[in-house]
Amino acid sequence: MTDSSRKAHFNVFIRGTGHHAASSKHPLVNPNAGLDLAHFANQARTAERGLLDSLFVADGYAGLSRGFEPFTLFSALAALTKHIGFIATVGTTYNDPYHVARQFASLDHISKGRAAWNIVTGAQSAAHNFGRDEHPDVEQRYKVGEEFVDVVKQLWDSWEEDALVYNKEKDIRLDSSKVYNINFQGEYYKVKGPLNIPRPPQGYPVLVQAGSSEGGKELAARTAEAIFTAQQTLGAAQEFYKDVKGRLGKFGRKTDQLLILPGLCPIIGDTEAEARDLEEELFTLLDTQNALRNLSRFFTVDLSEYPLDAPVPIDKLRPAEEFRVGITSRRDVIIDAAIRDKFTIKQFISRSAGGHGHITHTGSVLQIADFIEKWFREGGADGFNILPPIFPTGLDAFVDKVIPELQNRGIFRTAYEGRTLRENLGLARPDNQHNKIWAANNQTIEAQEAAR
């Protein structure tokens, strides 16, 4: 694809009130929106009106998120939309491959090919909700995660495309010779199969990954077709982009088979002054003491003891090794931005509060479009994961004002390219790998028997 024909891709990270830490206190926001289906239906229709690729829901198994479980929510939204995709977060550490394969196959059938799986390994806080005494470390989680994904893909491939017959005269609904046991035996999982639902319309739902750690980058290069990242500067984004794209070759993949979508929280105004006023309004609504307590966990000192206009005390950072068990990548990108841009304490709070670790950019419609175009054209992104600071007005402004400007610049679509999420993202439909895997397994067994 030439530069002139290359188009940016946008996902919107949907949630109740917005992505700014003070969003629930803003006068234009409904603080109870997180449990209101109509609220999410409005976001879905707005995103589809703007020709965005997909909606994304983060999910976890601990804490008080007060939000819907993603499969339930997306099944409802699929009935209300025609084009927008649905990216559901599902962790590998506290789930079973068979359940996950079945859930995503169901969502892909319900939506007629618009499902995607955001693959995460899970957070430490969930361990005690699943009878675990402790959370596995990063390396262990990614080893398990890789095998988990392999099992799921093989289950999706346990049905050939034409296994369903629907012959009324002969009362035949299924050609059982085209449905297979997978007989998977790995280090962590043993699964017979087959799946009890036909292969998804997309072959596989689009595979998304959201980690920026070393293990996350390897998993993305091996498996993912889109990756959500949290770089705070163009330089860091370019380094990440080059790094991950450069790993694809060793897995037999091409650079256009993986889309890199950094998170962006755009604070938009018709003018820069208007956008700055909104940014300051949100900051005044923020509980700065609570924000300082949260950020102080990265340091050996209490940040609340420093003036807001003081520089971030980088020399007081805790060692990165202390965060090995939890989510490590988000800590790294926040600190990297503070070092690169020499943040004051107030700037550090604003960046962290605006998009919980993703970059916040404040400006006029033209300035937001300039920012997106620069990262897109200069090797920092294939598009963005949009995190509006408040709903619904933040998403409305992006769709109704920024999107037309990007279309005028020729870097965003003016119509959906296809019917499925894969088609709209420019991703190929994967072939069924069952016969290839089956043949390889047989060769291994034969070789083992011959060696005896």
pLDDT at 327: 47
Q: Distance between the two ends of the chain, CA-based, in angstroms?
A: 51
- pLDDT tens, N- to C-terminus, the chain (452 residues): 446 789 999 999 999 999 998 999 999 999 989 999 999 999 999 999 999 999 999 887 766 666 899 999 999 999 999 999 999 999 998 889 999 999 999 999 999 999 999 998 866 666 677 777 777 677 788 889 999 999 999 999 999 999 998 888 888 889 999 999 999 999 999 999 999 999 999 999 999 998 777 877 888 898 899 999 988 889 989 999 999 999 999 999 999 999 999 999 999 999 999 999 999 999 999 988 888 988 898 899 999 999 999 999 999 998 866 655 444 455 677 787 788 778 899 888 887 887 777 899 999 999 999 999 999 999 999 999 999 999 999 999 999 999 999 999 999 999 999 999 999 999 999 999 987 776 666 565 555 566 66
The contacts of residue 446 (CB under 8 Å, 6+ apart) are none
pLDDT at 323: 59
Instruction: Tell the CATH topology of 9-268+358-451.
Output: TIM Barrel (3.20.20)
pLDDT at 339: 85
What sign does the CA torsion over 341, 344, 347, 348 have?
positive
pLDDT at 349: 87
DSSP 276-296: HHHHHHHHHHS-HHHHHHHHH
Using CA atoms, how far residue 133 sits from 96, 126, 128, in Å, is 19, 10, 6
pTM of the model: 0.88
pLDDT at 213: 77
User: C-alpha 306: how far from its chain's center?
Assistant: 35
Q: Name the residue among 88, 44, 292, 301 with its Cα closest to residue 207.
A: 88
Domain ranges of the chain: 9-268+358-451
